[in-house]
Structure 1
Amino acid sequence: MAQHDKDPARVPMTMIQALRSAMDVMMARDDNVIVYGQDVGYFGGVFRVTEGLQAKYGKTRCFDAPINESGIVGTAIGMAAYGLRPVVEIQFADYFYPATDQIVSEAARLRHRSASDFSAPMTIRMPCGGGIYGGQTHSQSPEAFFTHVCGLRTVMPSNPVDAKGLLIAAIECDDPVIFLEPKRLYNGPFDGHHDRPVVPWSRHELGKVPEGYYSVPLTSAAVFRPGKAVTVLTYGTMVWVAEAAAREAGIDAEIIDLRSLWPLDLDTIVESVKKTGRCVVVHEATRTSGFGAELVALVQEHCFYHLEAPIERVAGWDTPYPHAQEWAYFPGPSRVAEALKRTLEA
């Protein structure tokens, strides 16, 4: 973590509070930072992430937008080109599709096709993933779509400390950043099982967030859990699922929390896989053409002669998101543990 305040005090925060703190810090530091989207003003957002920002900074700095994702993103592009730094919220990641042309054809390409005469320093926040019984239109994990688009940066934090630092870095970035927020982690680190209570963030070290300004580089992964037997590459909610799997199975797994999906911290990945000789990739999204496929390809390209077993993938089913069976759809500790054991026994 790159800190710019000297020895800042740490206070317990949920991920919701940490994200709000990041926007608060940046709105106070830079009048060009504005926040808007569906219900983010007076109401404070469907998950209350922006609660209080309108009261503090006024209706010209934090305001509501119509139910028009294309319009939200399109106006943000114009504002960003003009010199503002908009932070817009798409209420659920599933809703981004109407804004696809604006994101892909305009925001991602603006700096490159204008030879840097214009840029799009904008952040698009999106709650993503399942675990709340939100059904097919409130639970998708579309990260692979964004990592495929040249000119976009894609981020998904797994804890409040990283969430605040990464969001500050995203707001400061001169390129458009897709900032995906796992809903299951908003209020606490999940132990990986749907039938067990969520542990409050206040009881976890990663829930003690520095006050004030600091940033986490958008190009850095983190070694979430050191180990020597096998490397697990994952991000978001699945960091905690993988940790539960390794702990409960008694496996000395090294868990790499990617944090930034693109640009990717390939050096950390390669160093870990060369050390362990084994690799398991875990993500919540659909398996086929998921971001895990890119990770498998990169590991094979850079670590082939160090591998002692085939690379395993654990992911969601290749089906439309199943509302009633979502806890079977995405990986749980038992599925991840089985993959870890197969890799070790190969």
Structure 2
Amino acid sequence: MSVPLFPVMAPASPLAAPITVLMWVTFGLGLAVFLTVVASIFLFVRRYRHRGAEGEPPQVFGNAPEELIWMGAATLVLVFLFAFSVRVAAQSSPPTDAGTPEITVTARQWFWQASYPGGAVSANEIHIPTGRRVLLSLESGDVIHDFWAYRLGRKLDVIPGQHNRLWLQASVPGVYQGACAEYCGTQHAWMRFVVLAQTPAEYQAWLTRTARPAAAPTPDTQAGAQLYARLGCPVCHAMSQPNASGKVGPDLTHFGSRQLIAGGVLSNTPEHLTRWLNDPDQVKPGTRMPKYPLNATQVASLTRYLEGLK
């Protein structure tokens, strides 16, 4: 799937299309007003310039008909944009009888976590079925964030203590980029996510697969699993295993299946995970992930274990 040069201008959802049209209409009207004003300035400077006669040129102190025309034109433009904006907002807002949200998205410094019916959980990626609207409940675990999937819909603030709702819909399968659009701290710029739009069958299969418990350690990953527990990682990272109920960091139940780590700073590869485990703060300054004094063998063991969680 090709990625457009300016994704915000390439809607891929019937919810995002009206917003894009509104943007172009607003831009076009603003440009027309700007060009009219600039052209009028040049016209009046040339036509009514002072040609060196004695004294000042004739002074004009108002023209009521012309002023009323300009004020009326400006008012019509503003009323049109207001009415258009209200209509677009109504098209992208959930109705009062929207029912129970299907996905709960929780924003934290600095990552996104999505919880689904049946117990599936993902971090920094949101899976949705194509061809229908999915209702999201947006929550914050700390400060104000803002959810924005560029090509799929409108922005919406994520506020502590509130449960804001947002419709999300994708017309065709694909990977759609998203980000936090409200400054939320040091690593605001690296609070990214992706929306993975799948066919309904693929989405249901993913839900079923991801709702399963974490994979049991194999002989090859047993050392990493023991090190993971000994370091106290379950205190911060939830996982469908005993003593793993932390909420500080992302849920790691199926970590190895994800595309991104560290809120989108790195793609999920063994090389990038090794770099992250060696010094998280160097990769993402300000992160709450501590740096442990691990040797190369320990880092390799942790990497094998985490990448095996699929």
Range class of TM-score, shorter chain: under 0.3
Q: TM-score, normalised by structure 1?
A: 0.22
Question: What TM-score results when the alignment is normalised by the length of structure 2?
Answer: 0.24
